[in-house]
Chain A
Amino acid sequence: MNFPILSVITFLPFVAAAIMLLMPADRKTEVRGVALAAAAFDLLLSGWMYMQYLLGGLTGYQFIEQYDWLPALGISLKFGVDGMSAPLVLLTGIVMFTGVLISWGDYDEKHHLSAGIQDRPREFFSFLFLLAGGVFGVFASLDLFMLFFFYEIAVFPMYLLIAIWGWVKTREYAAMKLTLYLFIGSVVALVGALAMYWTQYQNTGILSFDMLQMEKAGFSQAFQYIWFLPVFLGFAVLGGIWPFHNWSPDGHVAAPTAVSMFHAGVLMKLGAFAALRVGVMLLPKGADYWSDLIMFFAAVAVVYGAYIAFVQPDLKYMIGFSSVSHMGLVMLGVSTLNYNGLLGAGVQMFSHGVMTALFFAITGMIYDRSHTRQIPELGGMAKIMPFATIGFIIGGLVSMGMPGFSGFVAEFPIFMGVWGSQWLVAVIASISIIITAAYIMRNIRQVFFSPMPEALAEHHITDVTVLDKVAITTLCLFMIGVGMFPSMMVPMIETGVQNILRLLGGA
C-alpha cells in the first residue's frame, strides 16, 4: 500500500478546519498560522503528486485508493487522478495557499486599513478549508456519489462565506442567488446520475457508483441523448455557462477576496470538470449529439462575456464577466470533442484558475486600501503598489492570450480544435480576443497609471504586504512557467485527453 496521497490532500483541510475551530477565537495569529501551515503543506503535497505524475510519465488513473463506504449501495470512497484532474488538484493547492496568504491581512487603525480578514478569522479559515477540502474531493473522486458528496460540501460553505464576510451591499442577495442556482444545477445533475446508476444496474446487474465501471455500462443511445443535457448543463451551471452564468458575477463581487479567488479560480473549474467527467465521459454519444448546442452556448459566453466585461465600471464585475468569457473558452474546447479542443480546455482550466485568482487577489488589495472598486474612481496605483501593478499586468497579458503566457498555450489549441469542427465559430469567438485586450489595457491604464483622483489620495493608501507579494509571485510564476514551457503541463493533459478520446471513439 502506497502513501495515500490523495486522501491526505483531501482530508487535510477538513482536519485543519476542525483544529482551528477548537482554538480560542481571540488567538487570531495562531489561527492564521495553522491555516497557512496547512495550506502550504497541501500545496507541497499536491505539487509533489503533480511532479510524480509528470516526471514519471504516467498515464491513466494514478494514485488510486479505495475504501468501502456503503457497500450495499455500491458506494465507495474511491480516489484517483488522471492527466485532466491532476493539474486541477495542483491548482486548488495554489489557490488555497495564496488565498490564505492574502487573507492574512494588515491592520492599521490610524489609516482605517483593514486588509485581509480581520473579522473572525477562525471561522473564516475553517469555512474556507471546508470549501477547499470539498474541491479537492471532487477533483480526486472516481466515485460518482462521492463526487456529488464533495460537490455539495464545496458549495455550502460558499453561502456562509459570502453571506457573513461578503460585501455588505449585496452579500445576502448574491449568496442566496448563488446557492440556489448551484443547488438547482446539481439536483438536476443528480437525477441524471441516479438514472445512470439505475440503468447500469438494469444493464449489467452491478450496483456501483464507480465511474470507471460506469464507463462500461453500455448506456443506450436514446438514454445518452436524453440524459446528457441535464447532467452536463447541471454541472456546467457552476462552470458559468451562458445562459446560466448570471449568478457568477454577482457571487464574485459579493464574496470576500479569498473566496472570490476560490470561486473563480477553482469552483468554476469544478463545474466544467464535473461536466466533462460525468457528462462527456460517461455519456459520450450524448455529448456527440448535443455538441453543437454546447458550442453555441459557449461561443455566446465567450463573446458576450467579453463584451459585458468591457462595459463594466466595477473592477470586480469586470473580472467576473471576463471569467464567464474565459470559462466559455473551456466549454468551447470541450464542445469540439477533438484532441486540440480538449487539450486546450484542460490547460485553460488551469491557466484561467491561476490568472483569475491573481486578478481577484490584487483587486482585493486595492479595495481594502481604497474602499472603492469603481474603475473611474481609481488611479495612480502604480506608484504606490508597483509590485501589484506588475502582477496585474501579467494577469492581463494572460487574459488577452498573449504568447509567452499560459493563456496563449491554452487558447491556441482551443481555437485549433474549433477550426477542426466548426470554423465559423472560431472566427466569431476570436473577436473576444480584441475586446479582452481593449478592456484589459484600458483598465490597467486607468487603475494603475492615470493620475490619482483627489478623493482617493486622502485614503493614505499603502503598499501591499510581503505576504501579498509572495502570493502574487507564486501565481505569476505558474502563468509564466506554463506559458514559456508548455511541456510543464501539456504532456500530462494529453494523457487525460487520450482517455476521453478513447471513450468518445466508442460513440
Chain B
Amino acid sequence: MDFLNTHLLSLILFLPTIAALIMLFLPGGETKLLRWFAFGSSLVPFILTLVLWNGFNPGQPGFQFEEVYPWYEALHSSLHLGVDGISLSMVLLTTLLTPLAILASFSVTDRVKPYMMLFLFLETGMLGVFMSLDLLIFFVFWEIGLVPMYFLINQWGSANRNYASLKFMIYTMGGSLGLLLAIQMLGVYFQSYDLQYIVQQWNSQPADAVLMGMSIYTVKKIAFWAFVIAFAIKVPVWPFHTWLPDAHTEAPTAGSMLLAGVLLKLGAYGFLRLVLPLYPVEAKMFAGALAFLAVAAIIFGAFGSFGQTDFKRLVAYSSVNHMGFVVLGIAAAAVAAGTNEAHIAMNGAVLQMFNHGLSAAGMFFLVGVIYERTHTRNLEEFGGLFPLVPVYGGILIFMSMASLGLPGLNGFVSEFMVVRGAFPVLKVYTAVSMLGLLFTGAYILKGIMKVLHGPINEHWSHGEHKLTEINTREILVALPLMALILVIGLWPAWLVGVINETVARLF
C-alpha cells in the first residue's frame, strides 16, 4: 500500500504505456482479446484515479502526491509530478474518457492492435501534461500526444484524413514553436525547469532587469504571447480554430471523443497552469484582447455550427463555442485577479472544461453511432429518425441539452459561473457572449430537428438500410457520461469543492 501511495501518479501515468507495450506481443488477429485487454488496462488508471481522488486533501495548499525522478540532469530537468485541484479534475476526466473511448471503438475492425496501442499512448501523453510540474517535461508530453493523434486521424479517419491530420500536426507544432523557444529562454535564464521555482523567480525579477539586451518588461510581453498563441491554437480560440473542424470531422469516433474531450483541455490547462501564474501582469494587460477572442469564438463558433450540414462538423464547431467560455472565464480571472469574481470565473472555467469534456465526448460518440449505421453525416439525409430509434433519440436529446446548458444539467452550472464571474469585470464582452448562448440553442435544436424530427426519411425505415437501435455496449459508453452530467448539474459541489480550494489560492 505504501508503494501505491508514493507512486500513485507515476502508476497512473505510465500504466497505459506499459499496457501498450505488452499489447505489442499479443497476437494481432485476436481482436477480441486485444479490445478487452486495452479496455481493462485503461480501467486500471481510472480506478487508481479514484484512489487518488479519495486520498486528495483539497484543503492542503500546494501540490500533492508529488514525485521527483531525475530525467535530464544536465539541463536541470526532472520528471516532477504532482496534482492540485485543477489538474486532479483533468486527470479524472482523462482516465474516465479513455476507457469509454476504447469501449466506443470496439466496432473498429481494421488493425485493432495498433489502434488500441495508440489510444493507450495517447492517454499517457495527455495525463503527463496535467501532472507535470517541470516545464521541459510539460513540453515533452505536450508534443508527444500529437503523434498518436496524428496517426489515429491519418490511418483510421474518413475521406479527407490526410489533409486534416497534417493540418492538425503542423498547426499544433507551429504553435508550440513559440512555446518551445520561450521555455528554453526561461530554462537558460533560470538554470532550472522546475515550474514552481520559475514561477516564483520570474515574478520577483526586479523591474529594471535586462534580458538579452531588452528590458524584462518587453521580454515578458513577447514570451507571454508565445505561450498564449501555443495554447490558443490548442483550445482553440478564434481565429486559430480552423484546424479543429477538419481534424474532428475526419478523426475516428473515439479519436474525436478524446480530441474534444481532453486534448482541447490541454490548451486551456496551459493557460491556467502556466500563463496566468507566469504572466499575471501581462495577462491583466491583454485580458481585453483575450476576452475579445473568446467572445468571437463563442459567437462565430455558434454561427459556424449553425451553418453546417455535416452533423460531425456541427458538433466540432460547438466545441469552439463552448471552449470560448473557458477562455472568457480565464480572461475575467486575469482582470480581476485576487477578487471573488476571479475565483467564481475561474471555477466556472475549470468546471466548464470538465463539463465540455463530458458532453463533447458524448456528442461525438452519438454522431459516431449513427454514422456507423448510415455511413453518412449529412444532416439533410436524416430526418424523423426518432420513432425508429427512440432510445438513441432520448440519449441524443439528453446530451444536446447538456451541451445547450439546460438548468439541471452540467453545462448550465459552469456557464453560469463563468458569466457570473465575468460580468462585473468584462461587462460588454459578457453581454455580447450571451448572444452567442442564444445561437447555441439555435444550432443544437437544429441538430436535433434535422436528425430526429420532421418527416421520416423512408430510406432508413425499412429494407436493407433499416436503422438499428443503439446497442448495449454503446449505451454503456453513454451511461457514465449521462450520469455524471446529471450529477454535476444537480449537485456540483463535490467537484467544485476540489477545484475551488486550489483556484482560491492561485488566482
Contact = CB atoms under 8 A, between A and B. Distances in A.
A453 to B, nearest CB: 16
Contacts of B170: 434, 437-438, 441
B75 A340 contact: yes
A445 to B, nearest CB: 6
B140 interface: yes
A409 B150 CA distance: 22
Contact of B185 (A402, A408, A423): A423
A412 B177 contact: no
B308 interface: no
A397 interface: yes
A431 to B, nearest CB: 8
B181 A415 contact: yes
A412 B74 contact: no
Given A402-B147, A404-B140, A449 B181 contact: no
B181 A437 contact: no
A412 B139 CA distance: 11
A486 B162 CA distance: 33
A430 B184 CA distance: 12
Given A403-B139, A412-B136, A437-B170, A494 B74 contact: yes
Contacts of A412: 75, 136, 184
Interface of chain A: mostly helix, strand, loop or mixed: helix
A342 B143 CA distance: 24
Interface residues of A, number: 33
Nearest to A408: B140
A430 B181 contact: yes
A403 B143 contact: yes
Contacts of A423: 185, 212
A413 interface: yes
Interface string B118-154: 0000000000000000001001110110110010001
A402 B75 contact: no
Contacts of B139: 403
Nearest to B212: A423
A438 B139 CA distance: 20
Contact of A437 (B74, B141, B169): B169
Contact of A442 (B73, B166, B185): B166
A343 interface: yes
A494 B74 CA distance: 7
A340 B188 contact: yes
Contacts of B36: none
B166 A438 contact: yes
Interface residues of B, number: 31
Q: Which one of B141, B144, B154, B188 has the greatest number of beta carbons of chain A within 10 Å?
A: B188
B166 A491 contact: no
Contacts of A403: 139-141, 143-144
Contacts of A487: 70-73
A400 B173 CA distance: 10
B61 interface: no
Contact of B74 (A404, A430, A491): A491
B280 interface: no
B140 A415 contact: no
B379 to A, nearest CB: 30
Contacts of B407: none
Nearest to A435: B170
A191 interface: no
Q: Which one of B70, B141, B187 has the greatest number of beta carbons of chain A within 10 Å?
A: B187
Nearest to A490: B74
Interface string A51-74: 000000000000000000000000
Nearest to A446: B162
Contacts of A431: 177
A413 B75 contact: yes
Contacts of B141: 403
Nearest to B174: A434
Nearest to A438: B170
B147 A397 contact: yes
Contacts of B293: none
B144 A404 contact: yes
Contacts of A441: 150, 166, 169-170
Interface string A315-356: 000000000000000000000000010010000000000000
A409 B75 CA distance: 10
A486 B188 CA distance: 19
Given A340-B75, A403-B144, A438-B166, 6 more contacts: A340-B188, A403-B141, A426-B181, A441-B166, A491-B73, A494-B74
Closest 10 CB pairs of A and B: A403-B140, A419-B188, A486-B72, A490-B74, A403-B143, A416-B184, A423-B212, A404-B144, A416-B188, A437-B173
Interface of A: 340, 343, 397, 400, 402-404, 408-409, 412-413, 415-416, 419-420, 423, 426-427, 430-431, 433-434, 437-438, 441-442, 445, 449, 486-487, 490-491, 494
5 contacts: A403-B139, A415-B180, A419-B185, A430-B180, A437-B173
